[in-house]
Amino acid sequence: MGQTFTAPKGMIDLLGSGAAAWERAQTVAREVFARYGYAPIYTPLVEYTEVFARGIGEATDVVGKEMYSFEDRGGRGLSLRPENTAGVVRAAIDAHLTDNGGGAKLYYAGPMFRYERPQKGRQRQFYQIGAEALGFAAPMADAEMILMLWDFFCTLGLPAERMRLLLNSMGDGDCRPAWRDEVAAFIRNHAHELCEDCVRRADTNPLRAFDCKNESCRAVFEGAPPLTGALCDDCARHFAQVRALLDAAGLDYVLDPTLVRGLDYYTRTVFEIQVDDGLGSQNAIGGGGRYDGLFEQLGGRPTPGIGFAIGFERSLLAMEAAGVDAPGEGTATVYVAVAGTGAGLREAAFALVTRLRAAGIAAVTDLTNRSLKAQFKQADRAGARFVAVMGDDEQARGGVTLRNMDSKREEFVLADDIVSALFALSPDLSAQAKNPTR
């Protein structure tokens, strides 16, 4: 055997139940987000590096230390996307999506790339699902975004009592500068208790120190001056309305003045959903906020925006910790098993799965000449609800023995009647078959 290879460091293969879980997360997102009026968007996995440098901020860790950047053959700087808000806004400006004042609601799902130190729940290629509401300034857009994020996790199956919604306002260009100076002074006063990076941030961008991954720095920042009391009137009113809308919707949240998201473009409302168990310090399964300045930073007209990103791997870890079943690998409804050696038996089985698939029923058969026992095992693994056994006797009579794997009941069914028999046995199957994409 020749040399074999692993996936690159910090990157994993999604296969088996992991791949099934990723597909299910996307299905849940599609269904939940559609109820809120969202449409899908696909942007390139790479953008011109300036999109991220200007959009996320040159001095952030994400842009400064974590991007996979390279030049194309024409010498233009490109980067693998470390997140997708900048790309979506770049695309929206390019396509004039919000120029008519109507706004756009978009969602995406796909891999992001950050050169971070890999650990549980932190990878260099990781998967995110995100949503962006572009062109909406009203507090109702913030509340809707937060409710949709919560709805996603609940629909995915995470118990509400395991999740905690953190909420804060970061103010805007009017009230943030004075607060930023206060935080810078706080850092200088506590320099002896903070890491070098945090101390340096006093001069570059003090607010980013709130995001330090160091536990001891985080503890110090619990005592940092909060912005909440110093918000300008407009920001304070906006924040109060967002909270009132969440209160009216019955969604609990924790006000956390230390919640300051690391990317430059956030203004006003920021939020995060955390879970307690299983993830250690990587306990944020999703978060986001308002970014009213981003369009202009990317050369567009002033346009408000708000969005979130969900971390797929961490959501999966949270589900495992909560004992919520990840979806199995099986996709087949019917397994057609061959129980005999008669001429043409395998071909007849093959013809039957083809007929079932044409009727919209998921069906598989053995392609490797396995024993009947091994085929039943395979049927189990495939999650089959029915096994259609074709032996010499059944073939002679022109049908199959149909076994219901739950009730263990068996009956002989003519090949011509099998589709209607299956629909009669499980009505949900006929609904599925009429709408084979679901």
Q: Which residues bind ligand AMP (CB under 6 A)?
A: 83, 114, 116, 121-123, 126, 128, 284-287, 309, 311, 313-314
Name residues whose C-beta falls within 8 Å of residue 36's C-beta, 6 or more positions apart in sequence: 105, 144, 148
State which residue, 135 or 311, has the beta carbon closest to ligand AMP.
311
State which residue, 285 or 294, has the beta carbon closest to ligand AMP.
285
Q: For the CB of residue 86, give the shortest distance to ligand AMP in the complex, in Å.
A: 11
Q: For the CB of residue 84, give the shortest distance to ligand AMP in the complex, in Å.
A: 8
State which residue, 153 or 376, has the beta carbon closest to ligand AMP.
153
Element (H, E) at 336: strand 334-339
Q: For the CB of residue 23, give the shortest distance to ligand AMP in the complex, in Å.
A: 18
State how far the Cα of 88 lies from the Cα of 108, in Å rounded to an integer: 9
State which residue, 198 or 309, has the beta carbon closest to ligand AMP.
309
State which residue, 313 or 394, has the beta carbon closest to ligand AMP.
313
Gap between the terminal Cα atoms of the chain:
42
CA dihedral 235, 35, 307, 13 (to 10 degrees): 160
CA dihedral 242, 248, 249, 251 (to 10 degrees): 70
State which residue, 169 or 375, has the beta carbon closest to ligand AMP.
169
Q: For the CB of residue 129, give the shortest distance to ligand AMP in the complex, in Å.
A: 9
State how far the Cα of 25 lies from the Cα of 128, in Å rounded to an integer: 10
Q: For the CB of residue 296, give the shortest distance to ligand AMP in the complex, in Å.
A: 21
State how far the Cα of 309 lies from the Cα of 291, in Å rounded to an integer: 13
Nearest residue to ligand AMP by CB is 311
Q: How many CB atoms lie under 10 A from the CB of residue 155?
A: 14
State which residue, 38 or 271, has the beta carbon closest to ligand AMP.
271
Q: For the CB of residue 181, give the shortest distance to ligand AMP in the complex, in Å.
A: 25
State which residue, 142 or 394, has the beta carbon closest to ligand AMP.
142
Q: What is the DSSP letter of 326?
A: P
Q: For the CB of residue 197, give the shortest distance to ligand AMP in the complex, in Å.
A: 17
Query: Which residues on adjacent β-strands are paired with residue 314?
Result: none
Q: How many CB atoms lie under 10 A from the CB of residue 100?
A: 9
Structure tokens that stand for 137 in this block:
């300034």
What's the order of all strands across the beta sheet hosting 69-71?
46-48, 77-80, 69-71
Q: For the CB of residue 291, give the shortest distance to ligand AMP in the complex, in Å.
A: 12
Structure tokens that stand for 273 in this block:
């959903």
